[in-house]
């Protein structure tokens, strides 16, 4: 039986009583489309007394088994992989016990909590009552100067991560929490929670239908993305195969890292600078950047570099 006493929890507004557990469950969802209810995989890692007690991974058949191409390019899951998978209600029956007698944690937790909330609503399943926290806040103290992205923080701490694999992301999230506990010399998560105002209630998460694209994350150098994706991971696409892309400006629909991943997983290459070997410059925004000026100069010199908008790039990902 997991320890479940009540502790006093103070914040600036009032005093609440919350359960104190010696366990937490790290969770990560991947989605098939930009609808929060389209969960297509979930990974869970339960930690009790700073020791991994259980871990599970499930593929989930999303509604109508429908996928957006850009989502598949990020996590590698497609309709053929989930055509025989269980739908969310069946998976929920297998995992709902994790939401009892444990805190729940996720990296960029609002995204995963929104997925869970939308899936429960879509299938008219009663919501569980639980407390959750975000591994972004719990890891910020020892990741100063490091981006908020799970990939960057795990890399900084030497934690292995296969980003956007739900099982690996859940393990990475759990590892960040364990690092925090060890760094702060806390024996269990309940002891740490008592000292930090980081818990939120799932019942307060607003129901949302869709999001702009994928998790927001800081940009990564183009060379790192080119070298990090193996041939086996690529899903070759005529729009990207053999083409070289450069991005300039602030993307609105996705992060630079996510855009890089789409190109490289589609069989293309990304670069940080414009040159004669570049096929496309994706120009996000109205600013006359150095890259944009260079691309225009090359066009005037007769080089076949195409300047496209972010919207045109997104259209390429959905053809």
Closest CA to 194 of 51, 8, 2, 47: 8
- Of residues 316 and 120, more confidence is placed in 120
pLDDT of residue 16: 55
The conformation of residue 61, written as its DSSP 8-state character, comes to B
Distance from C-alpha of 272 to C-alpha of 284, rounded to nearest angstrom: 15
* Owning domain of residue 234: 222-318
Instruction: Render pLDDT for 294-304 as a digit per residue (tens, 0 to 9).
Output: 999 999 999 99
Average of per-residue pLDDT across 68-92: 94
**Phi, psi for 35 (deg, rounded to 5):** -90, 130
The enclosing domain of 299 has a CATH number of: 3.40.50.10190
Distance from C-alpha of 308 to C-alpha of 281, rounded to nearest angstrom: 6
**Tokens matching residue 257:** 């890292």
Q: Which residue has the tokens 């209630």?
A: 201
* Helices (H), ranges, the chain: 69-75, 79-82, 88-95, 109-122, 135-139, 150-157, 166-183, 189-195, 222-228, 256-265, 290-300, 310-318
CA quadruple 69, 74, 75, 76: dihedral, nearest 10: 50
- Going by their DSSP bridges, the two strands 23-31 and 200-201 should be labelled as unpaired
Closest CA to 274 of 246, 248, 251, 232: 246
pLDDT of residue 129: 96
| 168 and 196 belong to one structural domain | yes
Instruction: Render pLDDT for 61-77 as a digit per residue (tens, 0 to 9).
Output: 999 999 988 889 889 99
| 89 and 16 belong to one structural domain | yes
Structural domain tally of the chain?
A: 2
Instruction: Render pLDDT for 163-190 as a digit per residue (tens, 0 to 9).
Output: 999 999 999 999 999 999 999 888 889 8
| 103 and 240 belong to one structural domain | no
Residue 173 covered by a domain: yes
């Amino acid at each position: 039986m997991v320890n479940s006493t009540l502790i006093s929890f103070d914040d600036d507004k009032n005093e609440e009583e919350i359960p104190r557990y010696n366990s937490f469950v790290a969770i990560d969802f991947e989605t098939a489309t930009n609808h929060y209810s389209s969960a297509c995989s979930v990974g869970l890692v339960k930690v009790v007394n700073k020791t991994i007690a259980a871990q599970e991974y499930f593929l989930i058949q999303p509604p109508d088994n429908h996928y957006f191409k850009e989502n598949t390019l990020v996590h590698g899951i497609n309709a053929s992989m989930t055509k025989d998978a269980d739908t969310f209600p069946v998976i929920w029956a297998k995992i709902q016990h994790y939401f009892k007698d444990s805190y729940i944690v996720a990296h960029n937790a609002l995204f995963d909590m929104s997925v869970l909330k939308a899936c429960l609503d879509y299938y008219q399943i009663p919501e569980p009552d639980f407390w959750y926290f975000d591994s972004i806040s719990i890891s910020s103290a020892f990741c100063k100067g490091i981006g908020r992205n799970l990939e960057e923080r795990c890399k900084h701490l030497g934690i292995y991560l296969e980003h956007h694999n739900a099982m690996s992301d859940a393990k990475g999230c759990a590892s960040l929490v364990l690092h925090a506990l060890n760094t702060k010399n806390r024996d269990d998560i309940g002891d740490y929670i008592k000292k930090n105002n980081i818990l939120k209630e799932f019942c307060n998460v607003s129901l949302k239908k869709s999001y702009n694209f994928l998790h927001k994350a800081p940009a990564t150098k183009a060379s790192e993305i080119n070298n990090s994706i193996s041939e086996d991971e690529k899903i070759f696409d005529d729009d990207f195969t053999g083409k070289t892309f450069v991005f300039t400006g602030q993307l609105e629909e996705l992060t630079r890292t996510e855009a890089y991943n789409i190109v490289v997983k589609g069989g293309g290459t990304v670069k940080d600078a414009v040159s004669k070997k570049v096929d496309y410059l994706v120009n996000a925004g109205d600013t006359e950047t150095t890259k944009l000026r260079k691309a225009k100069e090359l066009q005037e010199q007769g080089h076949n570099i195409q300047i496209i908008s972010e919207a045109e790039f997104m259209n390429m990902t959905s053809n």
